[in-house]
Each structure stands twice: as C-alpha cells, then as structure tokens.
Structure 1
C-alpha cells in the first residue's frame, strides 16, 4: 500500500499548488461569458440516468443534456435541478431557480443536472427466492442453491404517463456462466456474451409485465440489472391475410348457402305441415264417415234381412194358395225398397265427399313431401361444418332437421302405395252403393207397376213365380250387402290406427316446422355474422398493429415542458450489483475517509 499512499500524497501535494492559474482561467471564462451573445441549437437530447437498489427501489436520478449547437453563445434551458455540472468545458453554468443559462462554445455541448423527488414513469419490484424461500438481495451474496428472480414492471402513478404509454423497456440480466447453471427464462431471450449469459426481457408500451429467471447458482455474485427505455419504433409489417380472408370468404359464402338451403327446407317443411294438416282433417272426416257407416251397418243388415224374410214368406204363402196370401203386404214393399235405396244414396254421398276431401288432402301432402329437399350431405361435410367455428347448437339443429326430413321422405316412400290406394277403394265403394241403390229403386218400380197392373186372382201363378225369382235375387243382394257392411266394419276398425298415425305425422311435421323456423333464424344470424368476417379480421389486425405503432409520438422533455426542440429522451436504469466487498477497496475507502491534512501527514511517514 506504500505506492497508493504515495499517489495519494502526490495528489494532495498538487492540491496545495498555487491557485492563481485556476483563478485566472476562471476570470477569463467569466469575461468571455459576459461578452457572449445569444446562441442557438438545432436539437436537444436528454439521457435520464437512474439507479435502483437490488429490490427495484429508486435511489439517484440525474439527466445528461446534450445540445447540437448551431450558433455559439448563450443558451437557456429549464429544469428543477438540485445541482448542475458542465461536462463540456470549464465555463460556469448559471442557475436561477428553474432557469439554466449556459455559454455554448462547442458544436456538441453537454451538462448534467441532478434531480431529487422525481419519479420514473415505471415502478420496478424485484424479488428473490433461494431454495423456495424469500430472501433479501444482500443476504444472497455467496450463497448456493436454486435461485429465482421475479421482476415486476408496472405504471408509476406519480410518473409521466406519456413515457409509459410510448416507451419500450429492455431489461437485461448478465449472469456469470461459471456461477449460474441451467438458466431458464420462459418469457425472455438467453444469449451468450463471452463467458456470461445475458437474459433479456422486453416490455411493450402501456403494459404491466412480470418476468422470472431461475437458475442453479454457486457462490452467488451478480452484475447490476440494466434497464433501457426508448421510444417504441417497432416496424411491424401487416401480415398477408389474403389467403385467410379468402378462406373466410369461402366460409361466409358457405354459411350463406347453408342459410338459403335451410330457408328452402323451412318453406318445404311448412308446405309439408300444411299438407299433413289437410290430410289429417280429411282423414278425420273419412274416419267419422266410416265409423257412422259401420254403426248403421247393423240396422241396414237387419232391415235387409226383414225384407228378405218378408219376400220369402210372401213367396211361400203364394205358393201355398191364394187363400193364405195377405196381399196388403205387397203394397208396402216398394216403399221399403225405396227407403233402403235412399239410405244407400246418403252413404254414397258421404263417401263421395270423403273421397274428394281425401284426394285434395292427399295431393297437398304428396306435393309437400316432394318439396322436401333430398340433398345428400356426407359425414365429412358435417364434420367440416362442426370444425368451421359455427355455433354448435345451430349445427345440431341443422343436422337433426336434415335427418328428420330424410326420414319423413323415406317413411312416405314406403307407405305411399297404401295412401294412393285409398281413393280407388273409396271410388269402388261409392260405385257399389250407387249400383245397389239403383237396383232397389228399379225393383220398387217394377213391383209397384206389377201390383197395379196385375189381377191377383187370375195371375197368382205368375206372381208366385216372380216372387220366387225376387226372393232368390234378393238373397244374393242381402249376402252382398252383409259382406259389404262387414268390410266397412273392418275398415272402420283398422282405419282408426291409420288415422292415429296420420295424427302423429301431423304433430311431427308441426314440430319440424317450428324447429326449422328456429334453425333458419340461427343460420340467418350465423350467415349475417360470417358475412362480415373478412372485414372484421382486417379491423382486428389494424387495431392490433395500431397498439404498437407509435409513429405519431413527438418527444417531450422529461425535465420541463418549457424545453423545446427535444429530439429524443432516453432512460438508462441500473440496479445495485450483488458483489462481495474487496479488501483493497475497503482499505482505499478507509483512506479516502481521511481528511486532507491526515493524508498530507501520511505522505511524510
């Protein structure tokens, strides 16, 4: 340490040299300053230097001001500095409260201003854990274990928001590769710089962020964490969205086509529902008519049986002899025949009306079924629709309606023959009834004419022969009538099940129409939403890019809003390093604490 003490002594000796030269220089500078005219500068830059402790708490803050001088002379600057220092020459700088006057005689002029109680635009919180336990930064020096460092950056409510909103931070940790192993930084970039590893994080404007670094450390020592803040000038090219927009346009067109198809499906189902409703009404009339006919069939059979019995009795009586014949019964026969014929005519009229209603309802039903689309949609197309991002509930309704429409058409295809056979059966029945009523009227007329023109006493033989023929023919008619009424009863019993099926079909098509309406509303909404997808995509991209586009930012002074022509303001921020104290440095610090006279005395020891 003798050399160091000698150097310190020599420095102290220099301090005892005459100060006349310095005084003369100062006097000349003052005179030059008094004679200096007004100066000018083209631009000014500010570099804000700040120091933080290892936990991120702000300590010292000063600003280095740089002027690009265009005309030498006096320049006025503003700042609430506690002290200032000329970094260019020995010219003194005058400060009156917030106004600073300097004599710039160099093209590039620098001076430093120290600030107190001035907040940075950002808050930094740095925390440490070793082996899972929180630890104070200074206590970690020289330690081994699993180290985790968390750095939180957020907006400082007391700072200038303009810089927070427009500046990008770069946080850099320099780690000795001999001490730090297995370094991990999930949101950072790790690079090699000589024997060190540099971990870098980037904080975008207007963002609060939290970053972590973990490593296995041995004999921990760490350089200062450095933070640089500069205006965001990220150049982000707009992505090529032509292909994506093309696909979205295809999706939009596809959903529009689906919506149109669902609209057609809804119209077809509505027609189908109207047709099935008409069919159900006609079927109800047919059912009621058949049921009434079936109910009256017993009386019709009994009446016909009575007529047959009466004819047989008359034929037998005539055959037995004229004395035993009650001719008064003959006059009642034409009226009875006409009464039965009239009943058959009423049944025929009801069945004719029923046949017309059924044919009308069946025609509407057949057209409605034919209008239901038969588009074949593959499983791959359905899967693609699910993967398109459309509303899944809407797609489920669409698929169910599609499957139901196919099921309705297939069911109708299998039962169409039975439906088509009904009009023919009804027509045949009405024809048979018309023929029977006509025969009864003819019999009544012939019988009545015969009774009026015949002398019973003279023509009893002919009458007996005619009655025998009538009895025989009427027996066949009665058998046919009995067979017909039996068929009507069977038809009435079985048609009830068919009518119930038609009712179920009508209820199903009604629900199907309601579901198709809801589905059409959903696909219309989906088509409307997807029609704007390409434009919405571009708007979102533009909005995202605008967040990072700070091209319209105009720099302002960090120190005072009175300062003009500020070209740039930068921030250089450093934390305390985590280092072991050096023995020589400790001894030097102890020596520096000695007074001037102590060091002068030590010089001669």
Structure 2
C-alpha cells in the first residue's frame, strides 16, 4: 500500500511557513500565535483524536487551551500547564508545542460510506474486495461546534485512488488529475457550503490511501480600480479613430503613386521597343558590310587571276554595288539616334531622381511621421496596448482564481456562468488589443520591406544611370564614326560604279588596279570595324534597355503590391475602428457585472482552542482519515523505540 508522502510534506510546509515577530507580553496576556489543528478520523469519518500545534516566536509565552496533554515539539524547554493556562519561555526564533484535545467538536461532520455491488460495507470489510465500488462522501456543518468556522473556512479535500487496482473512476462535483499511477480527486468546499459526492470505480483487491482535507480561512473580497483601465480604453478608441483616418489618407495617396508608376512602366516599355528596332537595323548593316568585305578579300587574294576571272570579278563588283545600295542609314537617322540616346539618358536620370524621392518616403519611420502629423503616436499606441493587455490579464487572473473557488460548488452555477462570460469578454478585448499590435507590427515589417526594395531600386538605377551615361558617350562616338563611314561608303559606291563601267580598261592597268584593290580592302576593314563597334554598342544599349524595362516592371509590381497592402491596412484599421467603437461602455458594463457577482468580508481569525486566545494570526485545519488496507501479517519482533525528531512527531499525529 502506497503512503501519502506528498501530503506529509505539505503538512510540514504548512506548519513552518509563517514567521512572527512578537514582543514579550504581560503575564496574563495571550501571546500572538498560529494554530494548526490536526484531526484524525477513522475511514468512516468519525473523529478519533484532535491535536493542536501552536506556533510562537521567542519570548515568554502565555497560551490557553483545555488540553489533556501538552509537549514541546521543537525545543527542550519546560512547559507548564495550570488547568487551561500554558506557559513557557524560549529563545528559539520559532517554537512549536502540541496540545491534545479530548472530545473536541470540529466544525464539520464528515462521513464516508462504502458500497460494493450495491451493498454497504464497513471500511474494514471492504478492504481487499473486488467489484463495483461506490464511495459516498458527505461534509456538512457540525452544529455542536462553537464559533463561525464553518461559515468562514473553505475546505479542499483530496481522494487518491491507485489506478492499478481502480478503473473507470468517476466523481461528481470534483476535478480529477493523474499523479503518477494514481488518480487524484479534488473537491473545493466554499465557506458555509456542504458537500455531497459520489465516487465510483471498478476495483480489484481494493485499497485506498488516507483522504486528506485542509481548511483555511477564505476571503473573496475583490476590489478593482478601473479608472486607469477605462482611461486606456478611451485612449485606444481615440488612437484607433486616428489610425483609421491616417490609413484612409495613405490609401488615397497610394492610388496616385500607382497611376504614375503605370505611366512610367508604359514609357520604358515603348523605349525598349525602339532600341530593339535600332539594334535590328544595325545588325542588317553589319551583315551587308561583312558580305562586301568577304567579296573584296576574295578579289584581292585572286587579283593575279583577274584576266581569267574577269567574269567573276564583274559579278563580285555587282554584289558590292548591290550591298552598298542597301545601306540606307542617313545623317538624319544618326542625329535621331543621338537625340534618342540623350532622351533615354535624361529619362533614366529623372527615374533615378524619382526613385530617390520614393526611397525617402517609404518605410515605417515615414509612416510613423505621417501618423504623428495626424496626431497618432504609433509607439505610444503599442505601449498602451501592451499595458492594457497586462492589466486585463491581471484582472482575468483574479477572476479565474475566484472562478476556481466556486465553479464546482453546487448552487453557484449562475455565478460561475457569469464569471466565465466576463472572463471570455475580457479575453476578447485582449484579443482585439493583440490584433491591433500585430497589425502595427505587420505594417512595420511590410513598409520596411518596401523601403528596402525602394533603396535597392534606387541603387540599381544609380548603377544603370552611370552605365548609360558611358553608353551614351559611346553612342555619340559611334554616330561620329558612322558619319565618316557614310562618306567613305558614298565614295566607295561611286568608285565601284566607275569600276564596273570601265571594267574593259582593267586589262591594260592590271598592276595599278591590283594596288587599288589592296588599298580599297584596307579602307573597307576600317568600315567593318566601325560597324562592329556600332553593333556592340547597340547590343549594350539593348541589354541596358532590357534591364531598365525589367526594373521598371519590378517597380510597378512592387507599387501595386504596396497599394494593395495599404488598401488592406485601411480595411483592417476601419474594421478595428468599427469593433472598438463603444468599447468603453462595454468594458465598464462587464466590470460592473463582475463586481456585482462576487464580494467578501474581512474577519479577524479566532482561536479554535480557546476564546481566551485573542491574539491569533491564523488558524488552519488539517484532517486526515484512516487508510483502507488489506490485513498484513505483523512480525512479533520487539525493538526499542528511538527518540522522535520534529518531523516524526508530526507524522505521529496521523498515526504514521
């Protein structure tokens, strides 16, 4: 059979927790003390012995009590008993003495009745039996006991059943918890209330640890200072209204930003298409020039075969003339290219400036500043929300303590429901406040993310601006080169025309002609190099334009997302405003309702031992029943009993 060791530890802690500082009293004045009344009953609840442990501080002690026997528990000082007057002196910081009370009437009638398969058994008869067990536990007022202990003291009763021998355990008006392999059944009995409960279980060779019942003085007086809370609720409502207005203005301004970014994205896309057209035209020029140079190289390599290959030469000359005639780039087009490049450079510069302005106006700090202009301090709002949550949580904790004391008590169902409703209402307020803080935190993360994106865009545009300024310089240089090339191409075209017209004179001046072809090839190489440079620059322009287009697209997408977020923020703050409107009245009504359902009265503790003891700090009751155990064989060995220490003396009070 397992022993209730935890209960013993609790008894020791209960006796030794309080510290007193007491001056020396006059000879007949009762000293200040604490009383712990230890009550032992049999398994049916009948009182078998009552012992009072009286706790004093150092000094000359005078106490009163109708004891049959007294003894010191923690010191060796002599203790004197004269009828009902007990005196002793001690220097110990804390001293305990025990008084045995004969025929004492305790404040409660306690009854345990045991049934197995519907038949009633005594505790000794039911030990070790198996079947369907029912324990009927009853606690009521003992009218023979003097004083108002029943009306002022609450009880907590604990019944422990071993789950190894007890299954399918049920209990009315109780809470149950698993403690190791045991099932602990706990009852709370409020002052002035009785208890009727039934515990059922399927048992095998039934045994049960002692039932423990602790009695303490209980005061349910609850006072709530709601002035500060209501002030914070009003501040929350004002702040929510300002937040709603500020979010609306921010949403309106974001639509203007969205329209501007759409125009910018469309313009950048059109510019990119123009750059693609320029690149395609330059690629065609490069292809024609390359074809002409290939023909010139062939002509130059085989000029010594001109006589035999004059027909091939004529064909090559016709090819050159045809290729030259396909070059349609004019000086006006080059001027347009230079002008377009300058416009792009200026557009990128304007975009760079706009990105800088955007980066300076994005971010949570700017959002806070805007809110501040509208009279709302975001940080103060969060701090106020946090404080309000803390205050409400404190109030809920107080109410939950009161609820825990009455929720399982018969007759308190209405008060229990009211307390649960009030707690749920305050928890809803906490949820609203937490949602408000979460909305602010989400806005902070979102806006700071946008700000980081704006800074990245600003930096990338800075890089693109620098790159394009260099590229524009290349464009202008290529334009000048291409202008010179056009002059040379025109001269070449005239020479080819003349060469074709006067081809019959080639036979007489083959040497001079060959040298001229070589010179023509060298000059044409410069043209090819110029066109290649122009094509390379065009590719760079196309690549930069593509990056600019992608960046503009990302900017537009980011602004769209920002506007959507701002719109959701505005919807959320409006919903928050609508839900918190009139919250001050609701909170006040809830608090008033709670205060109307609970209350209490402070009463000074009185001595259970003797009404002559008028200087009482506290009185506790510790009640323990006899355990139900199967019969065990008792050895006949007789050993000499060693002296008991303080802990052993306390255990002896309960027959342990």
Whether TM exceeds 0.5 here: the answer is no
Name which one, 1 or 2, has greater alpha-carbon Rg. 1
Task: Give the TM-score taking structure 1 as reference length.
Answer: 0.43
Task: Give the TM-score taking structure 2 as reference length.
Answer: 0.40
